Structure 1
Amino acid sequence: MSSALVMLNPFAGGGRAAKLEEAIRTRIRTDHPGARFVVAGTIPEAHALIEDTPPDARIVLIGGDGTINRMLPPLVRTTRELGIVPLGSGNDVARALNLFTLAWPEALAHALTAPATTIDAGVVTFGEREVPFLACCTCGFDSAVALRALNGPRWLRGLPRYLLATLKELLFLRHWNLTVHCEGKPLRAGTALFASALNTPSFGSGIPAVPHARIDDGKLDLLVAGRFSRASAMVMLPRLLMGKHLSDARLHTNAFTGIEIHGSPDVPIAVDGEYLGETPHLMIDVLPASLRVVARSLPTTTNGTATTA
């Protein structure tokens, strides 16, 4: 690593990151004087700062999944390295990299000094847009929940924020007619609550949607939910929170490298908790070994269950 840029998103964690700005600035000045510290402005300005760094630079992002997602375009499929200080509301990427439990000073030191490893990313294509993601691409109910979570009360963070959004969306429960092709072959068709693609075991601030998913196996994991009533969805929610939901016949999971989804009516989509809008057609593909990141450890899989090494 020849240089390091530390970038803080002042809006991460409902403004919690901004309150630590001076403490972080002091810590970098004292312990990591070779690193450059900036507070992110607009997304184009932040992208320009990253693109101006050397090809082998390390970019340390202070924030959550949304912060990481917005900064992926100048990072994915390059030789730059990504370090993470998890101070966001979701932090599912940090969970997959075993960074979530670190206090910010420890996470900062680790992000600046530990070696990097290679992981996968994903990309969703719809209309004329191509958007990379690192944790998940959700389609349907989960994306509607993501929009409600983004517009939720600032004082509520993490899993409680997501659960409140989930309960509100259940009041307006919608289904879509989804047709899914996997690797070019028909996989599923019919009424569905959602069809989501995960690169990490969890989404929605730690909900273990696909507990056996790996972030470095060259594949993404599809999770499809069929028709659910409000009552059955409420019954399923505790099982989902415990990771005990995949035995339900209305749920289907499948590892893939590429899928195509047609939805009627137009299906809402979101990546890493960031709402993108609605579309009748989208494609989701894995970008294998496309990002260098600083992790503490990556999960190992035993009998279909992911555990931390």
Structure 2
Amino acid sequence: MSVRFSRVLFIANPHAGVHRNIRSRVIATCEKAGMDFALEVTQYVGHATELAASASEMGFDLVVAIGGDGTINEVGSALLGTEIPLGVVPAGSGNAFARALNLSLDPAKACRAFIQPEIRKLDVGRVGNALFFSTAGIGLDAVVAHRYANRTGRRGFLPYLVLTALSLLSYRPQTLRLRLDSDSEIERTPLFVVIANMPDFGGGATIAPQAMPDDGLLDVCVFTHPGWIRLVLNTYRLFNGTFDRMPGVEIFRAQKVHITREKSDWFQFDGEVGKGSKELIFEIMPGALTLVAAEQ
């Protein structure tokens, strides 16, 4: 369905895409197109959610996130249950959301998509009070996300990859019990469990190759350490779409996933981090997010 928007609110993460002058390119494209728009820059964590939540009363009928997966999560979460759709100008280090949906990474092309767009309905994942559009996870995945969020220095996928390798050397996995929908429990001691609504992990990595954001299901990737030699020899599978054939990987599908851990620990949702209890419930919300994409 093709639509047109009368007034657009852009919400930008000030740290995203600075080296590519993304904000100035967005402004130039919108002005050239004669678009009625406003651009707000976030000042603190949660500010994007506040701005998006007030969009309707300010007369906006489209809200666009300029940033990475965390910014998209903040903006999109505020739009659930409203009639205002989400647009995206990717400007993160991983851009898992944008890559999974084949959205343009070029800011000018991304903006032109809002002039004559198509509307898509996407599923949304939930764990407790946290929402995720791409992936959520526990174990090594969440530990690395926590350490990355609290480090200083250069950002990006390469530093994230290095931090993952270093963390892998010292990480001690917990034994978990997983119950998928109403099935019986399974017990594993994995390096991580990723609950995927979309296949991409960011930075070109694909964690759940068959995951689809509109099938009403979560893909549950359980990865148990296969031994160092097989781990090293098969790491390439994370980047060529065959991670589901990696030794130690099991993929399940469910609408609801109940996980019991030995102790409370971190969990990640779209790269953001929270401290979770021993028991976590992940579930899918079919068609809960309205997305604006380029007309095909």
Question: Structure 2 length normalisation: TM-score?
Answer: 0.88
Answer yes or no: is the 8 Å Cα contact 1:12–1:67 preserved in 2. Answer: no
2:78 is the alignment partner of 1:74: yes
Over residues 90-135 of structure 1, what are the superposed CA-to-partner deviations in whole Å (9 max), with x where a residue is unaligned?
Answer: 11110121114x411111221353121111110011xxxx101100
Question: Which amino acid in structure 1 is aligned with residue 54 of structure 2?
Answer: D
Q: 1:266 to 1:48 in 2, by over 3 A?
A: closer
Q: 1:26 to 1:264 in 2, by over 3 A?
A: same
What pairs up with 1:8-27 in 2 under 5 angstroms? 8-13=12-17, 15-16=18-19, 19-27=21-29
2:279 is the alignment partner of 1:276: no
What pairs up with 1:175-214 in 2 under 5 angstroms? 175-214=173-212
What pairs up with 1:32-111 in 2 under 5 angstroms? 32-54=34-56, 57-100=61-104, 102-111=105-114
Aligned-pair CA distance for 1:184: 2.6
2 CA distance for matches of 1:209 and 1:61? Answer: 24
Partner of 1:303: none
Question: Which amino acid in structure 1 is aligned with residue 96 of structure 2?
Answer: D
2:117 is the alignment partner of 1:119: no
Over residues 233-285 of structure 1, what are the superposed CA-to-partner deviations in whole Å (9 max), with x where a residue is unaligned?
Answer: 33332222223232345221111111100111334210111121243110000
Aligned-pair CA distance for 1:143: 1.1
Match of 1:28 among 23, 27, 30: 30
What is the aligned length?
Answer: 290
Q: What stretches of structure 2 of length at least 5 have no aligned partner?
A: none
1 CA distance for matches of 2:199 and 2:24? Answer: 34
Question: Which amino acid in structure 1 is aligned with residue 82 of structure 2?
Answer: T
Q: 1:212 to 1:124 in 2, by over 3 A?
A: same
Deviates more, 1:50-59 or 1:217-226: 50-59
2 CA distance for matches of 1:59 and 1:207? Answer: 28
Over residues 166-196 of structure 1, what are the superposed CA-to-partner deviations in whole Å (9 max), with x where a residue is unaligned?
Answer: 1111121321101000113224213111111
Match of 1:169 among 163, 167, 175: 167
Deviates more, 1:241-250 or 1:141-150: 241-250
Q: 1:33 to 1:223 in 2, by over 3 A?
A: same
Over residues 23-47 of structure 1, what are the superposed CA-to-partner deviations in whole Å (9 max), with x where a residue is unaligned?
Answer: 4334333324311222122345433
1 CA distance for matches of 2:231 and 2:171? Answer: 10
Question: Which amino acid in structure 1 is aligned with residue 222 of structure 2?
Answer: V
User: What stretches of structure 1 move > 6 A for 4+ residues in a row?
Assistant: none
Q: What stretches of structure 1 of length at least 5 have no aligned partner?
A: 298-308
Partner of 1:302: none
Question: Structure 1 length normalisation: TM-score?
Answer: 0.85
Question: What is the RMSD of the two structures over their aligned residues, measured on CA atoms?
Answer: 2.4
The DSSP-based 3-state class of the residue aligned with 1:93 is helix
Over residues 210-255 of structure 1, what are the superposed CA-to-partner deviations in whole Å (9 max), with x where a residue is unaligned?
Answer: 1111111111110001244444433332222223232345221111
Match of 1:225 among 218, 223, 226: 223
Question: Which amino acid in structure 2 is aligned with residue 24 of structure 1?
Answer: V
Partner of 1:136: 135
Q: 1:290 to 1:33 in 2, by over 3 A?
A: same
The DSSP-based 3-state class of the residue aligned with 1:74 is helix
Q: 1:29 to 1:78 in 2, by over 3 A?
A: same
Q: 1:70 to 1:46 in 2, by over 3 A?
A: closer
2 CA distance for matches of 1:149 and 1:229? Answer: 25
Answer yes or no: is the 8 Å Cα contact 2:29–2:111 preserved in 1. Answer: no
The DSSP-based 3-state class of the residue aligned with 1:176 is coil
Aligned-pair CA distance for 1:82: 0.6
Q: 1:247 to 1:49 in 2, by over 3 A?
A: closer
Answer yes or no: is the 8 Å Cα contact 1:143–1:270 preserved in 2. Answer: yes
Answer yes or no: is the 8 Å Cα contact 2:118–2:294 preserved in 1. Answer: no
Answer yes or no: is the 8 Å Cα contact 1:180–1:187 preserved in 2. Answer: yes
Partner of 2:144: 145
Aligned-pair CA distance for 1:54: 2.6
2 CA distance for matches of 1:217 and 1:138? Answer: 20
